[in-house]
Amino acid sequence: MNRLFVALALPDHVRAALSGLRRGFPGARWVAEENFHLTLRFIGEVDNRAMDDIAEELDRVREPGFDLELDGFGSFETKGKVRALWARILASEDLNHLQRKIDTALDAVGVARETRRFKPHVTLARFRDAPLDRVNELICEASPFSAGPFPIGSFTLFRSFLHRDGPVYRPEMVYPLDGDAFSDPYFDEFRDDDEYDFQDENAVPSH
């Protein structure tokens, strides 16, 4: 089975800036620098055939690129305990529009809808039972923080491999926005990276 999600990869300089926010905090699992991303849609475990259908359907999404900006922090809590600390994405109608297009594309191949409202964020750290006031102190120490505007020229179908020492995300397909692969700022980066070999037997054919 393939654990999939659709996300925006972030430029190197933005990931480096996010990585600089990492500090000592008991029980925190900080996201590795190479892993920072903005999830548009979590898909979950699917077989190879469904993965092919998903990859093909996503290829039909045609949207323009846009800029994004990070500003400040937020957290997800359950039962008074913080579970995740994230960097906030400044509201973007272009981003919301792309996310809806991807939702619609995935409806067509029978991926179950996410019931929660889309809340764009970049997860920085996950916690086991962190008290809210300690996380708020951490946020104060790290503030102010902002990054961008930076260009988003593609979205990515990632495959996630969960390991004991943290997840590895592998781009299975990179979909250029604007419909022009050569205007995409991340395309060459992925293609040239030895770790991300698009030619291997797991790669999804684009057609």
Residues that bind ligand ATP (CB under 6 A): 3, 5, 39, 42, 114, 123, 126, 160, 162, 167
| SS3 (DSSP) at 78 | strand
Query: Cβ closer to ligand ATP: 34 or 114?
Result: 114
Q: Least CB distance from residue 179 to ligand ATP, whole Å?
A: 26
149: Cβ–Cβ under 8 A, 6 or more apart, which residues?
67, 68, 69
Close Cβ partners of 146 (under 8 Å, ≥ 6 residues apart): 69, 70, 71, 72
110 DSSP 8-state letter: T
Contacts of 64 (CB under 8 A, 6+ apart): 94, 177, 178
Minimal distance, residue 124 CB to ligand ATP, in Å:
11
Which residue lies nearer to ligand ATP by CB, 6 or 207?
6
List the catalytic residue out of 37, 97, 163, 207.
Answer: 37
C-beta closer to ligand ATP: residue 113 or 207: 113
Least separation in angstroms between residue 165's CB and ligand ATP is 10
Active site residue 37: yes
Is there a contact between 102 and 154 (Cβ–Cβ < 8 Å)?
A: no
Active site residue 13: no
List residues with catalytic annotation: 37, 121
